[in-house]
Amino acid sequence: MNLLVTGGAGFIGSNFIKHYFSVYSDSKIVNLDKLTYAGRLENLKEIESNKNYSFIKGDICDKKVVEKAAKDSDIIINFAAESHVDRSIVSPEDFIKTDVFGTFVLLEEARKKDLEFIQISTDEVYGSIESGLFSEESALMPSSPYSASKAGADRLAFSYFKTYDLNVKITRSSNNFGPNQFPEKLIPLFITNLLEQKKVPVYGDGKNIRDWIYVKDNCDAVIKVMEKGKKGETYNVGGGNEKSNLFITDFILNELGKEKDSIEFVEDRKGHDWRYALNCDKIKKLGFIPEHSFEQALKETIKWYKNNSWWWKPLKKK
């Protein structure tokens, strides 16, 4: 199997590449990444000398670059995206270009070559839910420019299945965490701030709820959808770990031996969704069950950041 992985130098993409090679060492992977602020080749140092791995620096919005990257591919897995909600509020244009137009360029290439296409989406496309769970049939009501751009890409991918009968599959995962996550997201930001003896900024009252999944479990889910997923279908991917931001904060404080005076409550984010929660029965029918407990995975994540300050300290200056 020859894979084109876009955004493979980012957090989830790099974890996916390493995990896929650990399962299928004979496969070939081309990693196409623009190397924006969140894309780092250091994430892939363990496999950079692998003869079955190659890297192309380029933008998914560039048709010629995409054509070159996909030349020998059987499948495109699109992790490439601008992904931070706060940045989308300040500069939404970048999100529309990469997340929507970039996905269009990739889909066109897949259509021309009749390649399988996996779109990596997010639970944020559903918007907020006070109670109950979102299913794959729930309406999409994105609240931020980021989630709106992902919803656009999500539905554009589905349209290529409906219109061109392209073999498209979509995953919508909950909040990922784990090694190599850029320290602007809640968990790595809080861990690294505390390691630097800084306070952690908690939005509003900290009671907003997210479902969390360890990144390696999400990688397993993507592989399961590749292998057993049905053409034209969407699959929710959650960890079954609904936690408030305050719970996450207290857990990290306790692990690092810090007191609650390390918390700084700040003005709430614009359009901040209250709660995300997914019904994952559909992907469970494919045989997917998360392997990692939330508490143990978060402890391992904290340990990774403690032991890899060389990786994250330069990023805190950006």
Which residues partner with 67 through β-bridges?
A: none
Other C-beta atoms within 10 Å of 208: how many? 19
> What is the helix (H) or strand (E) element at residue 176, kind and residue range?
strand 175-177
First to last CA, the chain: 37
Question: Cα angle at 220 between 217 and 225, to 5 degrees?
Answer: 130
Report the amino acid identity of residue 120: I
Task: Report how far residue 217's alpha carbon sits from residue 292's, in angstroms, rounded to the nearest whole number.
Answer: 7
Task: Report how far residue 80's alpha carbon sits from residue 10's, in angstroms, rounded to the nearest whole number.
Answer: 8
CB proximity list for 164: less than 8 A, separation 6 or greater:
111
Task: Report how far residue 298's alpha carbon sits from residue 169's, in angstroms, rounded to the nearest whole number.
Answer: 29
Tell me the torsion sign for CA atoms 106, 234, 30, 100. positive
Task: Report how far residue 258's alpha carbon sits from residue 252's, in angstroms, rounded to the nearest whole number.
Answer: 8
Helix, strand, coil: what percent of the chain each, to 5?
A: 45, 20, 35
- Counting Cα atoms < 13 Å in the Cβ hemisphere of 18 gives 21
Q: Which residues are catalytic?
A: 123-124, 146
